[in-house]
Amino acid sequence: MKVDKVSVSFPADLGDAIRVAADQSGQSLSAWLRAAAQAKLRSEALRAALEEYQADHGALTAEELARAEHELGLGAERSTAA
């Protein structure tokens, strides 16, 4: 596997939180950041696909959004976070 080494900078508190999260997950810092970057890329691809779908088919209805949240297990999480 080809590896691309990069240097990144974070505010100190974010860097500390990332190191703690990586340590708690039992992953190296590189593995944790790689997984976070992959998750962000998937999220952005999903957002783009949803925007394209809605451009072609119209906006999702409240019922469709509620069903999606329920199926993804997001409904309760969002209502308690609000």
**Mind listing the pLDDT tens digit for each residue in 10-30?**
999 999 999 999 999 999 999
**pTM attached to this predicted model:** 0.74
CB 77 within 8 A of CB 69: no
pLDDT number for residue 1: 86
Give the rounded percent of residues in the chain with a pLDDT score beyond 70.
Answer: 91
Q: What percent of the chain has pLDDT over 90?
A: 87
Closest by Cα among 3, 33, 31, 27 to 15: 33
Q: Is residue 56 a contact partner of residue 48, using CB atoms and an 8 Å limit?
A: no
